[in-house]
Structure 1
Amino acid sequence: MQISLQLYSVRDALAQDHLGTLRRLVEMGFDTAEPYHLVEQRDDLVRAREELGIAFPSAHQSFLGDGELGPVLEAARAVGVRYLVDPFWNPEDWTDAGAVRALADRLNRRAAEAAGSGITVGYHNHHFELASQLEGRSALELFADELEPGIVLEIDTYWAVVGGADITALLGALGERVKLVHLKDGDLAEDPAGQLPLGEGRMPLAETLAASRRAELGVIEFDAYAGDIFEGVAASRTHLLERR
Structure 2
Amino acid sequence: MNSTRRAFLGTALGATAAAGLGAVPASAAGSRRCRRIPPSGIGMHLYTMRTPLATDFRGTLERLAEIGYATVGVSGRHGNSAADIRRMLDETRLKAVLEHVGYDIVRGAGLPQALEDIHTLGGKWIVVPSLPGSLHSPAGYREVAREFNKAGLAARESGLKLLYHNHGTDHQVVDGVSLYDILLAETDPELVGFELDLYWAANGGASAPGELFVRHPRRFPALHVKDMAPDGDFADVGSGVLDFPAMFDTARQGGVKQWLVEHDSPADPFASALASYTYLSRLRY
- What is the TM-score normalised by the length of structure 1? 0.90
Q: Which has the higher contact order (CA 8 A, sep 6+)?
A: 2
Alpha-carbon distance in 2 for matches of 1:106, 1:176? 21
Alpha-carbon distance in 2 for matches of 1:171, 1:93? 26
Shift of 1:15: 0.3
The aligned residue for residue 5 of structure 1 is 44
Deviation by residue 1:26-81 (Cα, 9 ceiling, x = unmatched): 11111211111369641331211332221112221113343421210111111111
Deviation by residue 1:75-97 (Cα, 9 ceiling, x = unmatched): 11111111111101023423x21
Aligned with 1:182 (options 207, 212, 224): 224
Aligned with 2:73 (options 34, 38, 42): 34
- Does residue 125 of structure 2 align to residue 83 of structure 1? yes
Same amino acid, percent of matched pairs: 27
Alpha-carbon distance in 2 for matches of 1:196, 1:92? 30
1:202 alignment partner, SS class: coil
The aligned residue for residue 135 of structure 2 is 93
* Letter matched to residue 212 of structure 1: A
1:241 alignment partner, SS class: helix
Runs of 4+ in 1 over 6 A off after TM superposition: none
Taking the TM superposition and a 5 Å limit, the aligned residue runs for 1:41-120 are 41=80, 42-62=82-102, 63-94=105-136, 96-120=137-161
Kindly indicate whether the alpha-carbon contact (under 8 Å) linking 1:5 and 1:32 is maintained by their aligned counterparts in 2.
yes
Shift of 1:217: 0.5
Kindly indicate whether the alpha-carbon contact (under 8 Å) linking 2:54 and 2:78 is maintained by their aligned counterparts in 1.
no
* Letter matched to residue 216 of structure 2: L
- Does residue 235 of structure 2 align to residue 196 of structure 1? yes
Taking the TM superposition and a 5 Å limit, the aligned residue runs for 1:212-223 are 212-213=251-252, 214-223=255-264
Gaps of 5+ in 1: none
Kindly indicate whether the alpha-carbon contact (under 8 Å) linking 1:130 and 1:163 is maintained by their aligned counterparts in 2.
yes
- Greater Rg over alpha carbons, structure: 2
- What is the TM-score normalised by the length of structure 2? 0.77
Shift of 1:116: 2.3
Root-mean-square deviation (Å) = 2.0
Gaps of 5+ in 2: 1-36
1:56 alignment partner, SS class: strand
| Pairs aligned (count) | 238
